[in-house]
Each structure stands twice: as structure tokens, then as C-alpha cells.
Amino acid sequence: QKEVEQDPGPLSVPEGAIVSLNCTYSNSAFQYFMWYRQYSRKGPELLMYTYSSGNKEDGRFTAQVDKSSKYISLFIRDSQPSDSATYLCAMSGSQDTNAGKSTFGDGTTLTVKP
């Protein structure tokens, strides 16, 4: 079983829809939770970063972490065609000897249709 499981998708939604992207994990030592967006043929870019449980909002994006359920989500409101990309969840914890070493999900490809 993988340490991080991500809903595989692909996901196709109409413009303006609310999108929910989700990951589950098994390692209770994870404390840092990230969401990256990767456009085709580009490197991933950091979207949201959350420490421990709770919600974090940034514009149209909201990240939620539920450590009790080992479940994280990224919500995109009023989705736009420019949001079409692959979204990767990532997480890491203090058990990692190298700062920043993360475990990634396999990614969910999102298409927002005009």
C-alpha cells in the first residue's frame, strides 16, 4: 500500500464549478501538507502549504487537513479553464532526515471546460 493515495481522476468539470481534490495517507508522522499544480511539460508549482490540521484559504483555493482521518483536500471555487492541470498532493514529517523531502501522490488531472 502506498503511503499517499490520491484520487486518480481524470476530472472534467464545467467552468464555474467547485472542484474537490483529495488524498489519504497512512503515515501518522506527516505534519506538513502541500498541494502542487503542474501544467503540461512544466515543473510543479507550490499552491498551498499547511502545517498540521485545519483549513487554509488563498483566493479561490482552500486546503483542508484532517489528521484524525488522515485525509486532505483541495477545493477550487469558481473554477476556470486556466485551472486545467495536474494537481499533486505531497506531505512530509519530522521523521525525514532531509528538510523538504516529501512523499507525493500520483496526481489528479483536472480539465475545466469553458
Partner 1 sequence: GAVVSQHPSWVICKSGTSVKIECRSLDFQATTMFWYRQFPKQSLMLMATSNEGSKATYEQGVEKDKFLINHASLTLSTLTVTSAHPEDSSFYICSASSGTALQETQYFGPGTRLLVL
Site residues, partner 1 (CB under 8 A): 31-32, 34, 36, 41-46, 49, 51, 88, 90, 92-93, 98-102, 104-107
Closest distance of CB 34 from partner 1, Å: 6
Nearer Cβ to partner 1 (70/96): 96
> Among residues 50 and 64, whose Cβ is nearest to partner 1?
50
> HSE-up of 92 (CA within 13 Å, CB side)?
11
Query: Taking every pair of C-alpha atoms in the chain, what is the biggest distance, in angstroms?
Result: 45
